Amino acid sequence: MFLTIGLLALQVVAVLGAPIEAEDEPFDFEFSQLGEEMYLVVETRNHTEKLLEEWSDDDGSINPEEMGPFVQGDLYQPVLAKNAVKFKSRKWAKAVVPYKISDSFGYSDVQRIQMAFKMFHQKTCVRFVPRASQRDFIAIEKSSSGCWSTVGRAGGRQVVNLQSSCLRQIGTVLHELMHALGFLHEHTRHDRDKFVDINYLNVRFDAIGNFWKETKDRTSTLGTGYDLGSVLHYSRKAFSWNGFNTIDPKVKFSGKIGQRNGFSNSDIKRIKAMYCNG
């Protein structure tokens, strides 16, 4: 079973697999190589709150989800999966994602989240719908632990967390919702070394693992090329300890790496490949 990096990278996405026919067939997420930090409880991570409160989108050098304490900054899996070699997750049935938005969000915050939903609705077949009694749904929370999401449909209630700073750029909301759909980060896709250099000397020692690549036999590119403009690509200075670039493109690219303005064409193509039969 493929992990969709492409979605993983393809995106990067983290889908855990290539498109499948049966709605209930599971994707196998192989996260054991990422270490125990994947499973540490959210309550131990609240030091992230201050970092995000001080973050300014005027700088533009990094994005808020790159400041989190989880794997690759914003990938979180339930503690119950800690002892499992593989974390089982699934694609959302019929491309429908039930959601419940916490009452802690103000009106403008809710409008921002709804705007992100609308962008999915306008560009893809994926539909976010208010939860009625569905067992599986995303709970959009506002805890002071950063911007993060579980990958794919984990089963039951799963959290997409959007601290206030995470709502400043619509692309950050899209980014986390794509994780919930099953997509991983673009910079971890198996063929990334053809397109970017990772400057490990500039990477924080505790963040080296955030640049590990997915393996070709575990991921699918969904027929799309590497995309420096993907909303799932991290910025040039992601996880830098000294302010210098950690990611440099090997190919000519006129756009912003790590942009959070909206979907790239490849992002849309990948979502359609996974959920909309192309």
Known catalytic residues are 176
d(CA 134, CA 157): 10
Q: Count the Cβ atoms, other than its own, within 10 Å of residue 99.
A: 18
Question: Which runs of E-coded beta strand occur in the chain?
Answer: 27-29, 87-89, 96-101, 127-130, 137-141, 147-149, 157-162, 196-198, 247-249
| Distance from C-alpha of 49 to C-alpha of 39, rounded to nearest angstrom | 19
The answer on whether 121 is annotated among ligand-binding residues is: no
How far lies 84's CA from each of 23, 25, 72, 101, in Å? Answer: 23, 18, 20, 30
CB environment 19-32: b (16+ within 10 A), e (fewer): bbeeeeebbbbbbe
- Phi, psi for 127 (deg, rounded to 5): -130, 125
Residue 175, marked binder: yes
Give the contacts of 206 (CB within 8 A, at least 6 positions apart): none
Q: Reduce the DSSP state of residue 188 to 3 states and report it.
A: helix
Question: Which residue ranges make up the annotated binding site?
Answer: 175, 179, 185
Binding residues for Zn(2+): 175, 179, 185
